[in-house]
Structure 1
Amino acid sequence: MSSPELATKSPESDAQEDTRSPPTSSAAPAPSTPTPPMGEHCTSDRPTPSGQASTGEITKLNDVEVYISKPPDYPHTPSRLLLLLTGGTGLHSVNNQIQADRFASEGYVVVMPDLFAGDPAPNSSAAADIAAEASSGSFLDTFKIKAVETAKSFLIDMWLARHTEEKVMPILHKVLEGSRDEFADAVSHGGGVYAVGYCFGARYILLLAAERPGPGQGQGQEGDEEANRPKTVGPQIKAGALAHATLVSKGDFAGLKAPLSVVCVENDPLFPDEVRIAGEEYMSANGVEHEVQVYPGVPHGFAVVGDYNDANIKMAQATAFDQMLKWIKEH
């Protein structure tokens, strides 16, 4: 395949459309138009590569179910701590687990939390089951296809309503707190927590990489209690990398501080150009170290472990992993 387009590389200095506009040194961008919430690759796994299996373990960390994958020589050899945030297929996806294992083999203690509390995104099979109940063999095939599409859209909308930022962020804070305690040596060795995210999880890399108002700020509270609150909190990660994000608005770039590497799909309706460009402009205007690479000819979700027949997609998948790994290693 042709090399991914290097959209931006700036030196240091993935449920609803959010209409917040990030503050910049110039005029703030206008809110973007609504985009599709999630796609097939966000909710369904590709076939697992032949002969591959996960090697980590599922356990609990600060009362949150997590998949932990460690380097084979840890803790005898110092390692860094990496938080991996998945797409909608979630914690029990073997492909996601293998993705975590690949980072572990590069010297990271990987913590992959269940962002959805045992409720992964519904896939096409679930939608087909609902559609089948609502139809019979006498209906036209085209009607059945439409019924599946409608059922899937309904299921996704209901699922997204159950897994909002207000539900996911407390999970991440608990996992970060538990990780800093359980793997204090790895956090110390890396000088902080690193993070990578895909699809649904990619948006939360942006949120964790940002400096945001502290609790109670901007709510009109007065007195000593308010004076003692921190004005800002974060960022929660030292550096991050994200691939084919979904559900991202222009406002999600507000307050970014941590260095970011961004993997994008060309002409991706789930992460439209207007959102990507607004994010690049914000990061450049505010001195956020970043790189953005756009991969042509690949589907949304291509960077997640999974088998493809197309050699170009396979090559792009390997290149995207190298891009993300190189970024966190250099920071």
Structure 2
Amino acid sequence: MTVVQGTAVDIVTEDGTADAYLAHPGDGAPHPAVLLYMDAFGLRPRLRAMADRLAGAGYTVLVPNVLYRHGRAPVVELPEFIDPSARPDIFERLGPVMQALTPERAMRDAGAYLRWLAESPSAADGPVALTGYCMGARLALLTAGTYPERIAAAAGFHGARLATDTPDSPHLLAERITAELYFGHADQDPALPEEQQERLEHALSAAGVRHRCEVYPGAPHGFTQADTAAYSQEADERHWAALLDLLKRNLMGA
């Protein structure tokens, strides 16, 4: 069994300092790097546990608090079990914070995260993979299109606003992407309606991007997050199988 080391780290960006969590195998060797983009609820025990699981599979994993401009994690106080229907105030407070993270700011930050990994002795030389959840799936797609020379693979799960009709929609970067992509969509997800799923699929296919997009039947938005009311164990395990397969193929050469 792989021993995993997890530590809190700070990453200097052009706009401040982002707090983050770093997990990696405890063997002292560099390992292929994965940048894990958080969901709206942010850097918390669940995401650290997900990073640890990836590290146990042989990767160095960085999980930044992408909302650092509004404070260190947790940006808003969270209960141990998150049920937005019982606590609508959580999204009321998070909404303006998420909206303040424009694509321009997010991609400046992404450059800082990628530079930090390139300089980290825990991360192997070479391209990086991405995985993102909810808003993080959007960030993963934006990053794959903004830094194509650095990204070998990118995955997104129960993604939100991946292919909108706005001029800053991430699907519009499809022609720049060289990574292999995988998306696991939540079923009947208001954050990614069928029209956006079709728009994303068309854009990636037209650009010749290696990709697979799948809808997880019966899985609600947020299905990977075990500390929320949206969790689906079946869909979560399907996500892990797809993610680990993508990473192994693109970072481990298998």
Residue equivalent to 2:158 = 244
Contact 1:99 1:305 in 2 (8 A): no
Identify the residue that residue 255 of structure 1 maps to in structure 2.
173
Q: For residues 244 and 270 of structure 1, what CA distance do their matches in structure 2 show?
A: 8
* Higher strand proportion: 2
Letter of the 2:235 partner, please give it. Answer: A
> Retained in 2: the 8 A contact 1:55–1:98?
no
Q: Secondary structure at the match of 1:207?
A: helix
Q: Aligned pair 1:57/2:7, yes or no?
A: yes
Instruction: Give the counterpart letter for 1:262 in structure 2.
Output: F
Q: Where do residues 149-164 of structure 1 align in structure 2 (5 Å cutoff)?
A: 149=88, 154-164=92-102
Relative CO higher for 1 or 2, CA cutoff 8 Å, sep ≥ 6? Answer: 1
- Residues 1:292 and 2:213 are matched in the alignment: yes
How far apart are the structure 1 equivalents of 2:73 and 2:100? 9
2: CA distance, partners of 1:301 / 1:307: 8
Within 1, Cα distance between the matches of 2:154 and 2:62?
14
C-alpha offsets along residues 143-165 of structure 1, whole Å, 9 cap, x if unaligned? xx99x75x566434322333222
The ranges of structure 1 where at least 4 consecutive aligned residues each deviate by more than 6 angstroms after the TM superposition are 307-310
Distance 2:78 2:128 in 1: 35
Q: Distance in 2 between matches of 1:164 and 1:171?
A: 11
Q: Distance in 1 between matches of 2:114 and 2:230?
A: 37
SS at match of 2:196: helix
Q: Distance in 1 between matches of 2:230 and 2:130?
A: 29
Larger radius of gyration: 1
* Structure 2: runs of 5 or more not aligned: 80-84
Change beyond 3 A, Cα 1:101–1:152: closer
**Residues 74 and 195 of structure 1, relative CA distance in 2, 3 Å threshold:** farther
Contact 1:64 1:174 (8 Å CA) reproduced: no
Are residues 123 and 265 of structure 1, via their aligned partners in 2, closer, same or farther at CA, if it must alter by over 3 Å?
farther
62-71 or 195-204, which deviates more = 62-71
Change (3 A) 1:193 1:104: same
Taking the aligned partners of 2:103 and 2:206, their CA distance within structure 1 comes to 26
Letter in 2 for 1:79: H
C-alpha distance in structure 1 between counterparts of 2:6 and 2:123, whole Å:
17
Q: Deviations over 1:297-326 (max 9, x none)?
A: 12211123448898xx31221111110111
Output one character per residue of 1:159-215: Cα deviation in whole Å (capped at 9) or x when no partner: 2333222332222211111110124x7342xx311111111111011111115xxxx
Return the alpha-carbon distance in structure 2 between the equivalents of residues 302 and 97 of structure 1: 17
Map of 1:81 onto structure 2: 33
TM-score (norm 2): 0.79
Q: CA deviation at 1:96?
A: 0.5
SS in 2 for 1:269: coil
- Match of 1:197? 132
Contact 2:67 2:98 survives alignment (8 Å): no
RMSD between superposed Cα atoms in Å = 2.8
1:186 equivalent in structure 2: 123
Deviations 1:248-280 (A, max 9, x none): 334311232121010111111111111111111
Structure 1 unaligned regions, length at least 5? 1-53, 126-144, 212-232
CA deviations over 1:41-79 (Å, ceiling 9, x no partner): xxxxxxxxxxxxx9611122334321000113241xx52
CA distance in 2 between partners of 1:94 and 1:153 (Å): 19
- From 141, 148, 154, the equivalent of 1:234 is 148
Aligned length: 228
Distance 2:220 2:9 in 1: 32
Give the structure 1 partner of residue 111 of structure 2.
173
Separation (CA, whole Å) in 2 of partners of 1:309 and 1:205: 21
Aligned ranges 1:1-331 → 2 under 5 Å? 56-62=6-12, 63-75=17-29, 78-91=30-43, 93-117=44-68, 118=72, 120=74, 122=76, 149=88, 154-183=92-121, 186-188=123-125, 191-211=126-146, 234-250=148-164, 251-256=169-174, 257=177, 258-306=179-227, 313-331=232-250
TM-score, normalised to structure 1, is 0.62
Q: Is the 8 A contact 1:210 1:235 kept in 2?
A: no
